[in-house]
Amino acid sequence: MHTRTLGQGLEVSAVGLGCMGMSQSYGPNPGDRDDMIGVIRYAVESAGVTFFDTAEVYGPYVNEELVGEALAPLRDQVVIATKFGWNIQDGKMTGTNSRPEQIRRVADESLQRLGIDVIDLFYQHRVDPDVPIEDVAGAVAELVQAGKVRHFGLSEAGADTIRRAHAVHPVTAVQSEYSLWTRDPEPKVLPACAELGIGFVPFSPLGKGFLTGTVSTSTEFTADDIRSRVPRFEAGNLSANEALVAYVRALAEPKGCTPGQIALAWLLAQHPWIVPIPGTRRRPRIDENTGATQVALSADEIADLDALAARIGVQGDRYNPAGMAMVGL
């Protein structure tokens, strides 16, 4: 596994691991916690992954505990990112909260749950309309000065917000959804990152599984699977979107790789400071996802993928209306 550098010199593996799905969002949670710990350690020891993503709200709380326990014996080899920015009451999100006192409290509690001395990368999970981003950046800057946080990140923030935050304290990474079927960051956010020297971390780089070619109109999602509430995964929209996956599959077959690897290779080819964080619960998927770093796409193949995606378009929003209201792109 080769490495890439996000902003402020933060070096990580070219493909990271999003750990959210080990605790929520994609159907029944794994019954064997030890197996999930094994998957995380396998990612480091067998695949060379050094970049791990979690958040206090995943679970909530239990995902940080899982990641912390799994990476404890490997702490000096890895970069751990977590997030703040929500009110959590009785195990449920009740709106955003990025007041400075909340940020400080979450940092201390995340450090304890993760069992670490410093948070490598601390993201604001969603922009809080009630708290100026300058106050947020200032609070994280104080945590950096105190030695509790190394790097500051933003998630699903717009270009103006990124610029304002960066003017107060350097932003190391912006994390937003980005893939062949979610191109929202391209017009404004990616150019802002390029200008300011900020890394970009795509979550859901495989389209919540769609771009792997394993999801179709016949796929049934359980009530606790987030995709059951995402408009893009409604049967009519999925049917319209399948043409993109069919092309990706046709491109993958002669290369001896998978559609998911093509989707990740396309992302890696966009900019050298892009580091996708596909999630999985299985060791073979770790191997598949990290193997995307060995898949070469020609300039013509990338152009063809771009042209096809633009021509076909995507049917359905990537969140329900409440979720779309939280996106600042």
Q: How many residues does the chain have?
A: 329
**β-strand partners of 124:** 84, 154
Q: Is 300 exposed, middle or buried (0-12, 13-18, 19+ CB in 10 A)?
A: exposed
Catalytic residue status for 61: no
> Is the alpha carbon torsion for 95, 100, 106, 109 positive or negative?
negative
User: Measured between alpha carbons, how far is 146 from 131 in angstroms, rounded to an integer?
Assistant: 22
Q: How many CB atoms lie within 10 A of CB 94?
A: 10
The tokens of 307 are what?
A: 């042209």
The tokens of 213 are what?
A: 């070619």
Provide the residue type at 228 as one letter. Answer: S
Active-site residue (options: 26, 58, 178, 319): 58
User: Measured between alpha carbons, how far is 86 from 66 in angstroms, rounded to an integer?
Assistant: 20
Q: How many CB atoms lie within 10 A of CB 253?
A: 11
Q: DSSP character for 75?
A: G
Q: How many CB atoms lie within 10 A of CB 225?
A: 18
Catalytic residues, which ones?
58
